[in-house]
Amino acid sequence: MSLKRTRQDKKKVQDRIEALKEKLRLLNEKETELENTEIVSAVRALKLDPLALNRFLDRLKRGELPPTPNKEIEEQDL
């Protein structure tokens, strides 16, 4: 293999790596966006006012509530 050919191949590989890095960056952004959308949907499904949501999250952080997203949450539990 000649030096010229090796450098051409190296350039192609570098270009491909850069393209894949950009694709990975975009996929990471999309993943974060979708995770955030799921979180917002889950929080909205709780149908809690901001104060009740804050109390619920505080209790969850303290370990006073099991982290079960499908459990019905009632105002009196907060």
Residue 14 in domain:
yes
Residue 45 in domain:
yes
Give pLDDT, residue 1. Answer: 83
Measured distance between the N- and C-terminal CA atoms of the chain, rounded to whole angstroms: 72
The confidence band for 70, taking pLDDT boundaries of 50, 70 and 90, is low
φ/ψ region of 24 (left if φ > 0, alpha if ψ in -120 to 50, else beta) reads: alpha
Q: Which of 4-8, 11-15, 44-48, 62-66 has the lowest mean pLDDT?
A: 62-66
Report CA 32 to chain centroid distance, whole Å. 3
Residue 52 in domain:
yes
User: How many domains in the chain?
Assistant: 1
The confidence band for 72, taking pLDDT boundaries of 50, 70 and 90, is low
Q: Which domain, by its residues, includes 20?
A: 3-66
pLDDT in tens, 25-63: 999 999 999 999 999 999 999 999 999 999 989 998 998
Residue 61 in domain:
yes
Residue 40 in domain:
yes
Residue 77 in domain:
no
Residue 73 in domain:
no
Residue 35 in domain:
yes
